[in-house]
Amino acid sequence: MSSMDNYPDKQFYGDAETYWKEIPATVDGMLGGYSKVDKLDIKGSKKFLQEFISGPNAKTKTRRAVDCGAGIGRVSHGLLCPLFSRVDMVEVCQKFLDQAKTYLGSSAKKVDRYICCGLQDFTPDPGRYDVIWVQWVLGHLTHKDLVSFFQRCRAGLAENGIIVVKENVADDSCSDGVIFDQDDSSVTRSHRYLKQIVAESGLRVIKEEAQKDFPKELFKVQMMVLQ
């Protein structure tokens, strides 16, 4: 049992939407005041992803990716649009998607779909994506909705497609494996708990490593490739 188990799902999701509606549609807003980590984050992500999409052992194509919890398109702009032919963006807050069309600049021509919905309601078309990128958003899903989301993502992968998760993780010693943040209505799961959910959804971790060189006061950030 976690500290959010008695928190109704409707309230959990509604409070998160209310929170994000008040956040400015800027890189600093997307990163909770830590815009200084933007370039470091993108660099770490690119290095982590590279072996799957280029080089002698690469099997994953670069036809289409989806940015889940896309915000104004920070990850789409810095990482996905430069590497993939087409990109979709999924974001619960319409004002962020509206701003993305400006923020992305010339990269916007690569975006096919701006999908306004929460990930608990997002169902990828079967076999559509080579890479499903999910960053700093899984804490906004309940346990059962996260399992279901991962299962739908699995069905949305093209042949040799991958799901990439980049997420804050709490220490494995934390109570219940979850830290609940009432401010933005989200949870930070322990590394062990997150991997347990991955296994429960029928996926497996084929590569993982921690993001390096982030400010010490932040949560540890773990990157995982799932298939």
Q: Say how far apart CA 85 and CA 81 lie, in whole Å.
A: 7
CATH code for position 44: 3.40.50.150
Look at the alpha carbons of 38, 41, 43, 49 in this order and tell me if their dihedral is positive or negative: negative
Reported as a single tens digit per residue, the pLDDT across 42-96 is 999 999 999 999 989 999 999 999 999 999 999 999 999 999 999 999 999 999 9
- The answer to the question of residue 84 being in a domain is yes
Helix extents (H) in the chain: 9-21, 27-30, 38-53, 74-75, 81-83, 94-103, 143-155, 191-200
Query: What pLDDT shows up at residue 174?
Result: 86
pTM to 2 decimal places: 0.96
Tell me: pLDDT of 4 over 70: no
Q: What mean pLDDT value characterizes the chain?
A: 95
- The answer to the question of residue 190 being in a domain is yes
Q: Say how far apart CA 185 and CA 110 lie, in whole Å.
A: 32
CA distances from 112 to 42, 76, 78, 133, 213 (A): 22, 12, 17, 16, 34
- The answer to the question of residue 3 being in a domain is no
- The answer to the question of residue 165 being in a domain is yes
Half-sphere exposure of residue 35: CA atoms within 13 angstroms, side-chain side: 9
Structural domain count of the chain:
1
The arithmetic mean of pLDDT across residues 113-140, rounded, is: 98
- The answer to the question of residue 117 being in a domain is yes
Reported as a single tens digit per residue, the pLDDT across 133-148 is 999 999 999 999 999 9
Per the annotation, binding residues are 69, 74, 119-120, 135
Per the annotation, binding residues for S-adenosyl-L-methionine are 69, 74, 119-120, 135
Domain that holds residue 73: 9-226
